[in-house]
Chains A and B, each alone.
Chain A
Amino acid sequence: MSENTNNRQSRIRNFSIIAHIDHGKSTLADRILETTSALTKREMKAQMLDAMDLERERGITIKLNAVQLNYKAKDGETYIFHLIDTPGHVDFTYEVSRSLAACEGALLIVDAAQGIEAQTLANVYLALENDLEIIPVINKIDLPNAEPERVRQEIEDVIGLDASDSVLASAKAGIGINDILEQIVEKVPSPQGDPNAPLKALIFDSMYDPYRGVVAYIRIVEGTVRVGDKIKMMATNKTFEVIELGVSTPKIVMKDELSVGDVGFLTASIKNVKDVHVGDTITNAIKPAAEQLPGYRKMNPMVYCGLYPIDSSKYNDLREALERLELNDSALQYEPETSEALGFGFRCGFLGLLHMEIIQERIEREFNIDLITTAPSVIYQIETVDGESLRVDNPSKMPEKKEIESIEEPYVKATIMTPNDYVGQVMELCQGKRGDFIDMVYLSENRVNIIYHLPLSEIVYDFFDQLKSSTKGYASLDYEFLGNRPSKLVKMDILLNGEKIDALSLIVHQDFAYERGKAIVEKLKELIPRQQFEVPIQAAIGQKIIARSTIKALRKNVLAKCYGGDISRKRKLLEKQKEGKKRMKTVGRVEVPQEAFMAVLRINED
């Protein structure tokens, strides 16, 4: 028995795939599933691991997923592979680090044409911190502009890995897949750990299932867990009884026990996803481990925005949607909020901008609620003259200037990787965003790492889009939270038709206030359609108007054309107009489209 277990443990290989968006991670995962015959061709949906529609459409992975595969290697043995999928975006760094912690190895996928990107590098460092064996794979070698040799050199120069036997692959064309699988067998160490020691299982993901409660995705690091065991969450001290254990192949296979090295799922009638923290350790409640696994961190939202239903009768639907999403997303926070302009809604906290966009899109799509999203804000730390400390996550809640002693705002360390042709553009952009230059490192002859300290609020605005457009899409960005710093910030109000619109208020650095105010009123003029009357738009700091523009009155929109008997064309045109109106919120007497509330993010668009 023990020998069997040991033998089995020695044949387990746990690995992740690290890749930049678009470098082919999902396609490679598909190929691996195909080659290990986890799925018959008929079952094979392209990009099997990305289950949610949204993930497939955006080509990114939001939720992690782990699959058990059997691979018959050239040495004649059958190995048990656990492929743990990781999200590939800056908002989810912590989740990536936990899923990497569940592995002994990682495939590093680098696009043979594009080379290493900032996000890839950040994740490679995470993998190295977790002591993972890294297998470099140079992908898309069948593309006409592939330069595998240059990329191989880059991997050696930039990361310091031995890339001499990196696999040259094309996941799309099915080239190099067997080499990858053989290297996993050879290079990735088998899991170490004592199956008889007290249980330590790392939670690297969770999801909510309406019938089974929270499903925790776990990696057994020490010990064994069996159905019926009493277990304890070491961070929250909550106890539960194990109902189900299993693995995904990716079909669900139930198990009686999971032991050292196994990667699978656990259910225990857990009602609340907030009881299952990613990074927490599950142990046995009767025979607990002495200490939890290292690296646990509670996730805090970095970005806040208001979500309001356009149709105010949908407020309850929105609350239900948030409740449902929260079940699956422990990082999502929300609380009710009221706006004079928008009525009842919620202030929601997110890990980052992508996280925010995904939640917003899911609410609109899956719950069919048209939303108004206010411009995202960070948390400002305010000391009042009365000695009170405030955390402000909504610009309209900022106290009057005379009541403020000091304001602090969050700063991040931003790492921007760019071809050296764009160094000037990147620096100009960072300076324009109140950045402090920290360092610049040449990674190779023509790739540069530029490091700036930047206010998070500037990144939240439109930094990423501007970075992409000023570097023709070549630069990539990674950032990490540094801490709060004092700043000279002021609140800017926007008035429509003479009325202050709280949902449009924003906090700006006083040196940039005029410039930004001007840009915003111009953008709003562009985004808000003509009304039956003239609408002045003003930007104000306190009582002082700093910028102004005017939307002219609508004068004529009647269709005065002979369409003959073609009524359907008239109808389509009117339906389009009516659809547009549905997506507008009447604020005072002005009909304001959704996009206008995000105008501040779009001031640099043409």
Chain B
Amino acid sequence: MTPVLVVAVTVTAVLLALAGVASTLARRRIGLLHLGGAALLEALLLVQAVLAVVLLARGERPADTPTFLGYLAGIVLLPVAGVLWARTEPTRWAGTVLAVAAGAVGVMVWRLQQLWEATGG
């Protein structure tokens, strides 16, 4: 759980959300840009998940471990779910669906960081 990674995830998520909203406003479906952005976001989240699991395995424990694990698993699934859904959505609203998923990631990553820093005894 490094702040650099959290910021990188946030920036990517925000850009992806903006791209999604932009495609809806432009009345277009999602394109390669969105898929690439989602792939980058997912890659960052996977790095973060691996890092967190390594730290957990070394014995570091956030105060609320079950919640932390729930967020860690949920956040990794979100971009995948967003892309799968957006690709089956044949209207310009596909971008908005992706934007919602990206926005949720952007919020959840900070909650995740918060949970991690609240280290329990």
Q: Verify that A and B bind, or say they do not.
A: no
